[in-house]
């Protein structure tokens, strides 16, 4: 009986047994706890936005700015109000502020002695976690002497702490308004510049609002969230303001 031929045994050449490393995908190799560049994203910092700003030129002690947008609700939503006011012949002190019915903390305020025009500036904030809108109520202790009141309202989430990193106040025609800013932090400032026609904020500050009322220029500005800490940043604006002008600032991170 004839049997079929045995199948041939094919042995690969030695070169075929070698791994072609050029065709193999690279595999990451690093020790536990040590990550290659780009493998893990760093912290993005807080999310800051301007919600609104306005002025009220009525002569009164309490100012209500109604039905303001607060943006999306969040458990860590901090609403920051930069505030200015202007008086004639009297000193005014900010008695209290509520934002969406929540009592705000007054972090900094600057007021002046009795002049023909007196600038007043303040920074306040409140943790308002619920509600898409609400009222901002600003109360001064000087009834009848207030000539106007202005505000800028900011929303921020993702803060390490809702307590300001630093606060500052200043006065005069050429304020320094020195303030520290932490890494991934920002600064918000208010200016009540008596007899000023214009103000210029130092870079990288961005002006958010400017309004002239009763011989005083109100202005608000902020710095973007920025990496790297800064000590004694000179946040005061330049311009043609007179000595009764007042300025306030606060920083968060």
Q: What is the pLDDT of residues 184-212, one digit of tens each?
A: 999 999 999 998 998 999 999 999 999 99
Q: Where are the domains of the chain?
A: 47-252
CB atoms within 10 A of CB 213: 18
Q: What is the pLDDT of residues 207-232, one digit of tens each?
A: 999 999 888 999 999 999 999 999 99
Instruction: Give yes or no for residue 8 having a pLDDT over 60.
Output: no
Residue 32 corresponds to which tokens in the numbers above? 């536990």
Q: Residue 216 pairs with which residues in a beta bridge? A: 194, 213
Query: Which carries the bigger pLDDT value, residue 242 or residue 221?
Result: 221
What average pLDDT score do residues 11-23 get? 44
Residue 40 corresponds to which tokens in the numbers above? 């893990």
Q: Residue 9 pairs with which residues in a beta bridge? A: none
Residues 6+ apart with CB under 8 A from 1: none
Output the CA–CA distances (angstroms, integers) from residue 141 to 32, 83, 118, 135, 166, in the order listed.
61, 15, 14, 20, 26
């Amino acid at each position: 009986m004839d049997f079929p031929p045995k199948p041939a045994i094919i042995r690969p050449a030695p070169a075929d047994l070698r791994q072609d490393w050029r065709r193999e995908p690279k595999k990451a190799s690093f020790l536990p706890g040590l990550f290659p560049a780009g493998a893990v994203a760093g912290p993005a910092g807080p999310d800051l936005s301007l919600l609104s700003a306005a002025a009220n030129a009525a002569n009164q002690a309490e100012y209500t700015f109604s039905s303001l947008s607060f943006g999306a609700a969040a458990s860590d939503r901090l609403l920051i109000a930069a505030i200015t006011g202007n008086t004639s012949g009297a000193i005014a002190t900010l008695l209290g502020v509520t934002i969406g019915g929540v009592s705000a903390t007054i972090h900094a305020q600057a007021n002046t002695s009795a002049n023909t025009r007196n600038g007043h500036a303040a920074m306040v904030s409140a943790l308002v976690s619920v509600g898409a809108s609400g009222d901002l109520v600003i109360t001064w202790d000087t009834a009848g002497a207030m000539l106007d009141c202005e505000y800028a309202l900011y929303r921020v989430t993702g803060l390490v702490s809702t307590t300001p990193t630093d606060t500052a106040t200043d006065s005069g025609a050429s304020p320094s308004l020195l303030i520290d800013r932490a890494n991934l932090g920002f600064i918000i400032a208010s200016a009540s510049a008596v007899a000023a026609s214009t103000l210029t904020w130092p870079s990288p500050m961005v002006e958010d609002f400017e309004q002239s009322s009763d011989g005083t220029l109100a202005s608000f500005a902020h710095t973007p969230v920025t990496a790297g800490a800064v000590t004694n940043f000179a946040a005061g604006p330049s311009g043609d303001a007179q000595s009764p002008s007042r300025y306030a600032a606060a920083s968060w991170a």
